[in-house]
Structure 1
Amino acid sequence: MTIKADNLVWKIGSKTVVNGVSFTAEPGKMLGLLGPNGSGKTSLLRLIAGLKRPNSGRITLDQADLGSIGRRTIAQRVAFIEQHATTNSNLRVVDVVKLGRFPHRSMFSGWTHEDDRAVTEALERTGMTAKRHDAWQSLSGGEKQRTHVARALAQSPKELILDEPTNHLDVQHQISLLRLVSALPVTSIIALHDLNHAAMFCDNLIVMQEGKIVAAGSPQEVLTRDLLKSVFKVEAYVETSPHHARPHIHFAR
């Protein structure tokens, strides 16, 4: 296993935002995190990334307590792409991607062949090689997201955490980005809004409501008509096929 959460609780004042959450992320698989706005998805992702500490419970990374691991060590293997990631507009694409190498370098170390290799591979894998010298502000929304993914991949992570990375992208770039992430040889945990995209690309799903996990399992196990109505307040028909395990959701007009 890689990432495991055990009875996580996190509060803001007296308000419990993450309430008794437990799960295991399977190595090399894509775990989708679903739930209405305010259900605790972003807070849970920030706990997993080590950016917040739980009030109780624990997160382990290869059976080591995340709280006992140094921030730099975590950054060397866990990459986090936030929902509203920002970048200095004066940078070129390649400079943005190079930022991903910082956790692997000391204050006085020079740029190495290994750093170059990691950046080049990240650009190639995300389809941004031809744009490597382009200015950040000249990129489309989809290209900016791919650059953020490339920066994360330059960290050489074993785990990749993404908070609604397809927000504000057109459909073409949403599908392209999710196809890219699902093909990566890493363990990924991704928060999504689009239920059909979650069904298409995620190996397993967690559904949150009011800080708690209310369903977990494969897309076909989780995305039921009853759950869609009770959690997302929508009437829908869930289509399944004996020849294709992944469900497709048709929303009522």
Structure 2
Amino acid sequence: MSIAAEQLTWRIAGKTVLDAVSLEARPGEMLGLLGPNGSGKTSLLRLLAGLKQPHSGRVMLDREDVRAISRRSIAQRVAFVEQHATTNANLKVVDVVKLGRFPHRSMFSGWSSADEEAVEDALAKAGMTGKRNDPWQSLSGGEKQRAHIARALAQTPRELILDEPTNHLDIQHQIGLLRLVSGLPVTSIIALHDLNHAAMFCDRLVVLRQGRVVASGHPADVLTEDLLRSVFSVEARIERHDHSARPHIHYVR
């Protein structure tokens, strides 16, 4: 086990947003989180990243309750890429990525060779080495997302959590970003809207509806015509060459 939720319940203003949610992301896999708007995906990701505390249940990192782990230690191994991350427009790309090293540095420590190596490696993995000295405001939407992923990778995380990172990107950048994440040597949990992208890139899926898990497993087992109808209110035809193949969804007009 890499990261897991055990019976998480979270409320806001008296409303239950997550109701006894459990899931497990295995080491090295890409776990996709699906569900309609308002199903609790963002709240769940924030709980998993340690940014919120559940009203009941717990989040585990390698079988240790995160409440027993310091915030700095969590930040050294869990990186979170928000849906609408913002950055000071006066910074260069390399300066944005360097922000990812803060959890690993003390107040009085200087910039080390390990810091430099982590930043350079993150830029390379995100395909942003050639943009390292470009000003933030000059980047395209896809490049900004890649820069934020590079900042997360500079944390040298073991777990990477992403909240709908492909929103507002064109199809080329959506595919490129998902290909990047799926190829990283980390455990990743990613919330997605596009069901075909989830089927294409994720090792396993968890589907939420009204704050509860209604399905989990391999994309071929989870993405069924009945589930699309009951959870997403769409009529679709599922195409696959055999039972174990990744499904492709054809929406009915």
Q: What is the TM-score with the length of structure 2 in the denominator?
A: 0.99
What is the aligned partner in structure 1 of residue 192 from structure 2?
A: 192
Name the residue aligned to 1:127.
127
- List aligned pairs for 1:125-164, cutoff 5 A: 125-164=125-164
Q: CA deviation at 1:244?
A: 6.8
Post-superposition, which runs of at least 4 consecutive aligned residues in structure 1 deviate over 3 A? none
What's the CA shift for 1:106? 0.1
Letter in 1 for 2:80: F
Matches of 1:47 and 1:243, distance apart in 2: 34
Per the alignment, in what secondary structure is the counterpart of residue 240 of structure 2? strand
Task: Give unpaired runs (5+ residues) of structure 2.
Answer: none
> What does 1:9-24 align with in structure 2 at a 5 Å threshold?
9-24=9-24
Equivalent residue for 1:98? 98
Measured in 2, the distance between the counterparts of 1:194 and 1:206 equals 14
User: Could you say what secondary structure the match of 2:108 adopts?
Assistant: coil
Q: 1:82 & 1:144 partners in 2: Cα distance? A: 12
State the match for 1:249 in structure 2: 249
Local SS of the residue matching 1:16: strand
CA distance in 2 between counterparts of 1:55 and 1:248 reads 38
SS at match of 2:246: strand
Tell me how far 1:68 sits from its aligned partner.
1.4
Q: How big is the alpha-carbon RMSD for the aligned residues of Structure 1 and Structure 2?
A: 0.9
Deviation of 1:57 (Å): 0.5
* % identical equivalent positions: 72
| Deviation (angstroms), 1:62 | 0.7
Provide Cα deviations, 1:100-147, integer angstroms capped at 9, x if missing partner. Answer: 000000000000000000000001111100100000000000000000
Q: Which residue identity is paired with 1:213?
A: V
Q: Does 1:75 align with 2:81?
A: no
> 1:13, CA displacement in angstroms?
2.5
Residue 67 (structure 1) shift? 1.2
CA distance in 2, matches of 1:6, 1:123: 34
1:25 maps to a residue whose letter is A
The Cα shift of 1:4 comes to: 1.2
C-alpha distance in structure 2 between counterparts of 1:243 and 1:107, whole Å: 55
Aligned-partner residue type, residue 222 of structure 1: V
2:113 aligned partner: 113
Give 5+ residue unaligned stretches, structure 1.
none
Aligned to 1:87: 87
Q: Does 1:34 align with 2:30?
A: no
User: Could you tell me which amino acid in structure 1 is paired with residue 70 of structure 2?
Assistant: G
Give the Cα–Cα distance (whole angstroms) in 2 for the partners of residues 121 and 77 of structure 1: 16
Q: Which amino acid aligns with 1:207?
A: V
